[in-house]
Amino acid sequence: MTDQATTAERTTKPPVTPYELAGGAEGLRRLVARFYAIMDSAPEAAGIRAMHGPDLGPVSNSLFEYLSGWLGGPALYVERTGSVCLTAPHRPFAIGEAERDQWLFCMRQAMVDVGFPEETRKLFDGPFFAIADFVRNR
């Protein structure tokens, strides 16, 4: 293979987005479903589960839509709400380090359970921490 062919190959191959690494819409739906299943059943997540109503469907859909755009896929959340503001929806809840850590527990376990490769989990861990920490309000 010549240097020209290698260069042409690199420029015509689209980069892999985090959205694609997550498995696109299908992968994100599995991740979000597992995330909320863990939140709904794990004693380690009881604090954040108590912040949600009995029906996790609407919040599950919101997280799916948000993650879709945040990871480089379709901006479904913005299309529906007109904003990516995360602080306003979380303002009514007391979210501190414990709640952040419970959210991260659920997300980290969900990534393992749905089969995200270790390198993808490592890639996502820092940004997931940053977003969970960003919504803290106490």
Q: Judge whether 127 lies within some domain.
A: yes
Q: Judge whether 10 lies within some domain.
A: no
The DSSP line for 29-54 is HHHHHHHHHHHHH-GGGHHHHTTS-S
Q: Judge whether 115 lies within some domain.
A: yes
Q: Judge whether 41 lies within some domain.
A: yes
Q: Judge whether 7 lies within some domain.
A: no
Tens digits of per-residue pLDDT, 61-99?
999 999 999 999 999 999 999 988 888 889 999 999 999
Q: Strands, DSSP E only, in the chain?
A: none
Q: Judge whether 6 lies within some domain.
A: no
Tens digits of per-residue pLDDT, 17-58?
999 999 999 999 999 999 999 999 999 999 999 999 999 999
Q: What is the CATH number of the domain that holds 124?
A: 1.10.490.10
| Helix axis angle, 97-113 to 118-134, nearest 10° | 160
Distance, CA of 7 to CA of 5 (rounded, Å): 5
Q: Judge whether 12 lies within some domain.
A: no
* Short-list 76, 56, 54, 51, CA closest to 66: 76
**Domain of residue 45, residue span:** 20-134
Band (pLDDT 50/70/90 cuts) for residue 1 is: very low
Distance, CA of 85 to CA of 31 (rounded, Å): 22
Q: CA gyration radius for the chain?
A: 17
Q: How many domains is the chain partitioned into structurally? A: 1
Q: Judge whether 101 lies within some domain.
A: yes
